[in-house]
Amino acid sequence: MTSDFDIVVIGAGVVGTAIARDLSRFKLKVALLEARPDFGDESSKGNSALMTSGIEIAPDSLEYRLVQRGYARYLEEAPALGLPMRKVGALTLAWSDEQCAILEEEFERVRALGHQDFYRLESAEIYSRWPNFGPGIRMALWAPEEGIADPFSTPYAYVLDAVTNGVEFRHSWPVQSVDRLQNGWALHSADRNVVRARLVINASGLRADIVEALAGYNDFEMRPRRGQYLVLDKAARAIHDVIAMPTPTPKGRGILISPTIFGNVIVGPTAEDVDDRDDRATTVDGIKLLKEAMATMVPGLTAIPVNTAYAGMRPATNYSDYRIIPRFDHDWLTVAGIRSTGFSGALGIAEHVIGLIVPHVFDVRPKGSLSPVSVPDLSEPSNRLLKNGERSGADPAYAEMLCHCECISVGEVRDALASPVPPQTIKGLKRRTRAMFGRCQGFYCGARVQAMFDERSKP
């Protein structure tokens, strides 16, 4: 089967879905092609989910500009999409003379950039506000505007918005080869489907170099970087409810300890260069590093049970900045190397991409009207319980508890299965509802959630 589009976006990570959403605002025929059965199933599913304002990024980079803009747009647009964010603030900690000197310099640098909401805290103030930190902290930098958000619902909201407003989302559609046409490209999938596009946007994350090579480009190499995490039980939040990280080193930002928007606390990520971009294993050495960081920074957390461990893979390249490369003579736009800040930067990247395309490549007008969408707020189980209580009079399915750890009702799982962008896998259902994500990790509710999923999938 062959179909024709103005623009095809390859890759439905948080970046590709944000681009597709912004494209849906224009009178354009757009497709979003995703190799996997669900969106957000590669780099975008295994991150720290910090919504950063970009203060830590080199100011002369494109990344700095786009993350700042992405953060600002997120603050503005997330509420209408139902997406939660908590400004819990971030602390960068120093123990040694050397680290204090680095933070002093960092403080001057960030203030000089005009970020006034950025403070230098002495030891006494740190311990009076956060008494659970381990001993020996001499100073900290305090960025109260830094936040946490929902890593799964964010690309869900973007893709749902895009689809509701006219974008065609095709999952399980790996682009395996491409042919140059007189105007645009023909993209071929494994099962011989063909899509033609006047412009291709390569937003394929961790595999961007492979997709680039299909079209004959090889301007960068992927350098996948694994990050392992521990997820602590929700009891941890009473001990620790702020983003805390050590003084950065030339190797990176180090292991942080942060609350999640769902009420857990995460410890991570490690930073390991790996050869295999699919090697998302957690390792004995990695877990050891995470436990050591926890014991140094917030020793009380070591008594809290670990619910699970996971690893994500940063789509880094041999360049430190984003690789956004317009190749409009060849009807191709590369949006790659969105390493460590794509969750925060996605809406800034999308806006930048639209600015490159409209009106220079497509002289089109915005659509007259749009259909608004919103996704369920999965952040606080107590809010969910209240909402379910209110709805249960009209529909008892909201009163029937399915996942007791995360307080998810049968009604919510049923709604997720009926979404215009329905889950194709049980993990996709998990990410849309939080069912099976709690303390028992699906031990109690897993069979019933699977049964509901199977029932929906019956022909």
Ligand X SMILES: Cc1cc2nc3c(=O)[nH]c(=O)nc-3n(C[C@H](O)[C@H](O)[C@H](O)COP(=O)(O)OP(=O)(O)OC[C@H]3O[C@@H](n4cnc5c(N)ncnc54)[C@H](O)[C@@H]3O)c2cc1C
Point out which residues bind ligand X (CB under 6 A).
Answer: 10-16, 33-36, 41-44, 46-50, 52, 174-175, 203-207, 211, 227, 269, 312-315, 338-344
CB of 318 to ligand X, least distance (A): 16
CB of 269 to ligand X, least distance (A): 4
DSSP state of 367: P
Indicate the residue among 315 and 423 with the shorter CB distance to ligand X: 315
Would you state the structure tokens that stand for residue 217, as one six-digit string? Answer: 């480009």
Indicate the residue among 160 and 452 with the shorter CB distance to ligand X: 160
Q: Report whether 270 contacts 230 (CB < 8 A).
A: no
54: left (phi over 0), alpha (psi -120 to 50) or beta: left
> What is 181-193 written as a DSSP string?
-SSSEEEEETTS-
Indicate the residue among 339 and 384 with the shorter CB distance to ligand X: 339
SS3 211: helix
Indicate the residue among 155 and 381 with the shorter CB distance to ligand X: 155
As separate numbers, helices (DSSP H) first and strands (DSSP E) second, the chain gives 12, 22
SS3 392: helix
> Strands 85-86 and 225-232: what pairing?
unpaired
SS3 78: helix
Comparing CA positions, the residue from 79, 141, 151, 80 lying closest to residue 106 is 141
Give residue 351's Cα distance to chain centre.
17
CB of 190 to ligand X, least distance (A): 10
Indicate the residue among 50 and 301 with the shorter CB distance to ligand X: 50
Would you state the structure tokens that stand for residue 386, as one six-digit string? Answer: 């209240």
CB of 426 to ligand X, least distance (A): 18
CB of 207 to ligand X, least distance (A): 4
Neighbours of 44 (CB within 10 A): 28
What is the maximum alpha-carbon separation in the chain?
68
CB of 50 to ligand X, least distance (A): 3
Q: Report whether 317 contacts 277 (CB < 8 A).
A: no
Indicate the residue among 11 and 89 with the shorter CB distance to ligand X: 11
CB of 287 to ligand X, least distance (A): 15
Indicate the residue among 50 and 408 with the shorter CB distance to ligand X: 50
Q: Tell me the C-alpha distance between 317 and 328, whole Å.
A: 22
Q: Tell me the C-alpha distance between 366 and 93, whole Å.
A: 46
Q: Report whether 417 contacts 453 (CB < 8 A).
A: yes
CB of 375 to ligand X, least distance (A): 18
Indicate the residue among 272 and 412 with the shorter CB distance to ligand X: 272
CB of 174 to ligand X, least distance (A): 4
CB of 369 to ligand X, least distance (A): 28
Q: Report whether 158 contacts 17 (CB < 8 A).
A: yes
Indicate the residue among 31 and 407 with the shorter CB distance to ligand X: 31
DSSP-based helix, strand, coil % in the chain, nearest 5:
35, 25, 40
**Tokens 């403080």 belong to residue:** 107
Indicate the residue among 261 and 403 with the shorter CB distance to ligand X: 261
Question: Which residue type is seen at 331?
Answer: D
Indicate the residue among 51 and 410 with the shorter CB distance to ligand X: 51
Q: Tell me the C-alpha distance between 331 and 10, whole Å.
A: 14
**Tokens 């939040």 belong to residue:** 237
Indicate the residue among 48 and 296 with the shorter CB distance to ligand X: 48
DSSP state of 252: B
Would you state the structure tokens that stand for residue 343, as one six-digit string? Answer: 């969750």
CB of 452 to ligand X, least distance (A): 25
CB of 43 to ligand X, least distance (A): 3
